[in-house]
Amino acid sequence: MVVVQMYNKKEVRSRDITEPRNKRTDHINKRNFLMAILSRLLSHIVKKNSVALLTQGILSKNSSGSKVPLAAYYDPTPRRTVVRRLLQSVAVSVGRRAVYRSISEGGKRFYSQLPERIVKMPEEKSFQRLPENVKPKHYQLSLVPDLKSFTFQGSVSIQIEVVEPTDEIVLNALDLTFDKAELKGDKVLTSSEVQLSSKCETATIKFASMLAPGPYELNIDFQGELNDKMKGLYRSKYTIGDDQEAYAAVTQFEATDARRCFPCWDEPALKATFDISLTVPKHLVALSNMPIKSSTPLGDLVKYDFEKTPIMSTYLVAAVIGEYDYVEETSNDGVVVRVYTPKGKKEQGLFALEVATKVLPYYKEYFDIAYPLPKIDLITVADFSAGAMENWGLVTYRESCLLVDPENTSAVTKQCIALVVGHELAHQWFGNLVTMEWWTHLWLNEGYASFLEFLCINHLFPEYDLWTQFVNESYIKALELDSLKSSHPIEVPVDNPSEIDEIFDEISYNKGASVLRMLHHYIGDADFRKGMHLYLTRHQYGNTFTEDLWAALEEVSNKPVKQVMSTWTKQMGFPVVKVTSQPTEDGNGVSLTLTQSKFTADGSKPAEDYLWMVPIGISTSKDLPEEVVNTMLKTKSADVVVPNVGPDDFIKVNPGTIGFYRTQYTPELLEKFIPAIKNKTLPPLDRLGLVDDLFAMVKAGHTNTVEVLKLLEAYKDERDYNVWSSIGNVLGRLSQLLGHTDFLKDYNKYQKVLLEKIYIRLGWKVRNGETHLNTMLRGLVLGRLAWIDDEKIMKEAKQRFRNHVTCEEVLPADIRSACYKTALRAGGSTDFETLLFLYRVTDLNEEKERISRALGAAKDPYLLEKALMFAMSDEVRSQDTVFVIAAVAISTKGSEMAWQFFKDHWDEISERFSGYLLNRLIKYLTENFASEAMAKDVEEFFTHHKAPGCERIVQQSVETILLNAAWLKRDSEDIRKYLSSI
């Protein structure tokens, strides 16, 4: 499964709030009513011809056939939204224990104690896995959804094996009503009682007599609701024709929601085969994991019977019923591939089809195992909480993760779609063919798929330079989370299914992928491929533990894979390798002392002893990119001799930023990199790795923030997208922090000077023949500049936005987000309403996401409040609401407002969202705070408000806030002095 990120941390945050509210009211007049009518009328007209709208950007035609701007029909006068807040008062007693932080005083840095908040979440849910006395073998499942009443009827006949004598059968069921339950063996037994437990999410079917061991057939008739929670079998709203609403029926079962659709043994190790039947209105498309075997007309309905599935876990069962178009192609290895799109948009599925038909043969060759099903369908779902889901043979996606409109899709989005397709198709082997035994080993699914997506798509699209992007997008994010005390090991014990959503995070995905990248480098590609083949063939259609993977890779490589990798998967965190040097006695080289210790985000000494087996590579300025030393650091400290190193040569530990650890150099060693940074002889991966490692030392209190500001000045002539992406992470994070000070404007001036050369080089216009990465770099740089409120840049953005709206010059998709934000910050209510209008008339989800997430860039608190209310309105799908609210929290003022909004609307938010989406929202709303008072506010709120499955993210949020507060207190005065001196 692919999860969705709200925004890249590279964005610069600001708290500059202008335009007092009394000026807004001057714009409000009696034309509002007419404007509203015209807007609705135009929306109706434009959506009726949505395909033309998408292919022409935002152009429409007048009665003479000439192209005219949509805005010509529209007067964007603001309408006032009244917000009533229901204030809540909470008080709590909080448990505490000691934690250390680094404090700067008189030029010295030392550690002192301050309280670490332990948030006591209410009502932990008890859990037991299903009894092992009954095993499922085969399901005959029939579903009849009613898309008018939002209910469904179902029946399931389950072939089971009773292993031990019992008088009851316990299986999973949730939000279902049982009409009948009977058991067929030598005779038919009707249940004496069915106990449904919503707490345990089980159904206990009791019988009057004991059941002897042997085969039986369990038959259950049931019914349920097509819910609107984006889990189980749920309804998804879409529009057809003249804005007519219609609904699809869709499944999303991972991790534990198959039980919401049918009674089953809903654990990954309890695999079975499935015969699935769907009875649907005859005008609708019905899809499942396998091809259709037969269809039977039943009046206005059709019953579709699908071929029998391979043995698989319940969370991979899938069904989709709705109105769709599709494009089709057969891959080189003979698999029928279809991409299903909303009606009228099948051309937007062509890129995903191209990628999928290339990915399948690549994986077949790489694993030396053919895709085992006869078809694979990729389908868009209008309402979808994640990014995509790897159901075997029927992969579901949110629209923005699958559809490409040539005129309106950015290079970033197109690249992301390729990666998501690569990720989900990797799961067809890792996760579907071979499945983790329990959710403790989730990383075997997600970490592997996250590694393989880059491996595959980098091969298919080498111009993307994806392994360099991997460091910014995956590796660094994993390091940031894993440095917290509230992180978790890759293999984290999962006792309760409510905890599963918490581990769909940067550790399972990105740290998992990062340590696999390190392992791939350690044993080599050839042995890595052989090991994967052995692992997949040995365990196909079965379930595994992490040790099974290590055993296969160790067997083919003859290297101590289990011994090495267990230190990375079974313990939390990662090391920092400290590097000191002295000349060798013969003067022809350097002797390095490498010392490892656990890296902690607050710079404190870890309470426990940690030791990793660290693969160490070393290169020098004479040998890049080749490694002149390759060794394993097995102890706390070791000496390594690097030959042929002159007095001015640099020594790079961890070249290529492959090892999952931080490197800390002495100032003297770090200084030797500066010339190579300026003349770019140091490769991009190493240039960005240096920045990120030093910044990590800054945040942990080992180095003053001023040092990283000085280092960044060496990057003024930088031209590489990936290096700028890393710099952007630093600039954005500092903007978050300094938004709490009164010298943010000085910092913005610093940013402008740093960005000036690359801005002049790229400009606003796309150049013929420019590279994919340069296109992305322009969007990144303009996105950064959007937040610094430079007068010339704002003027340029406003003009380009105006030209875009009037269709004099439609903005390229890659710079729209930056232009929207800059224009909104430079403008006010009129631009806000214009953006809302553009949101309403487009039917491309990517553009809706781009616009709605730009609303948070407004300076005016009144407009930020409107953006929050808009997020909760019916105009925004629930899957996107979280990210619109989070967009408001980018600025300091916005984060305060968004957090208050979250608390005021907790009842509605907690009803609408759970699991992954709620975890994301809590993270995004709180990560910018930088005071102990806000840490206390967050912990007090969640002590009194139940949020199952969010305990870990709340702990991480409180810890992050306290780290921000310590960092600000430690370095703010030094930063002020430095910025005022340049």
In order of 145, 722, 818, 850, the CA distances from 774 in angstroms are 49, 10, 15, 20
905 is in an annotated binding site: no
DSSP H stretches of helix in 267-376 = 350-367
Integer CA distances (angstroms), 50 to 456, 735, 840, 911, in order = 35, 39, 12, 33
935 within 8 A of 118, measured Cβ to Cβ: no
SS3 state of residue 529: helix
Angle between helices 443-460 and 411-427 (to 10 degrees): 130
Pairing of strands 375-381, 388-389: unpaired
Cα-flanking dihedrals φ and ψ of residue 319, to 5°?
Answer: -150, 140
CA atoms of 673 and 663, how far apart (whole Å): 14
Among 424, 491, 554, 833, the one annotated catalytic: 424
**On the CB side of 521, how many CA atoms lie within 13 Å of its CA?**
22
Q: Which residues contact 70 (CB under 8 A, 6 or more apart)?
A: 42, 46, 58, 59, 60, 805, 807, 837, 838, 841
The rounded distance, in Å, linking the Cα atoms of 7 and 246 is 31
911 among the known binding-site residues? no
Q: Are 251 and 232 in contact (CB under 8 A)?
A: yes
Residue 636 Ramachandran class (φ > 0 left, ψ -120 to 50 alpha, else beta): alpha
Q: How far is CA 476 from CA 280, 315, 513, 724, 830, in A?
A: 47, 30, 12, 14, 39
Question: What is the Cα–Cα distance from 442 to 431, expressed in whole angstroms?
Answer: 9
Counts for the chain of helices (H) and strands (E), in that order = 30, 33
For residue 480, indicate whether it is catalytic.
no
3-state secondary structure of 899: helix
Task: Label residue 37 exposed, middle or buried (CB < 10 Å: 0-12, 13-18, 19+).
Answer: exposed
539 a known binding residue?
no
d(CA 498, CA 198): 13
From CA 435, how far away is CA 803, in angstroms rounded? 53
Using CA atoms, how far apart are residues 505 and 487, in angstroms rounded to an integer?
Answer: 10
Structure tokens belonging to residue 859: 């300076």
Question: What is the distance between the alpha carbons of residues 686 and 655, in angstroms, rounded to a whole number?
Answer: 6
User: Cβ–Cβ contacts within 10 Å for residue 660, how many?
Assistant: 24
Q: Which residues are the active-site residues?
A: 424
Per the annotation, where are the binding residues for Zn(2+)?
423, 427, 446
Binding residues: 423, 427, 446
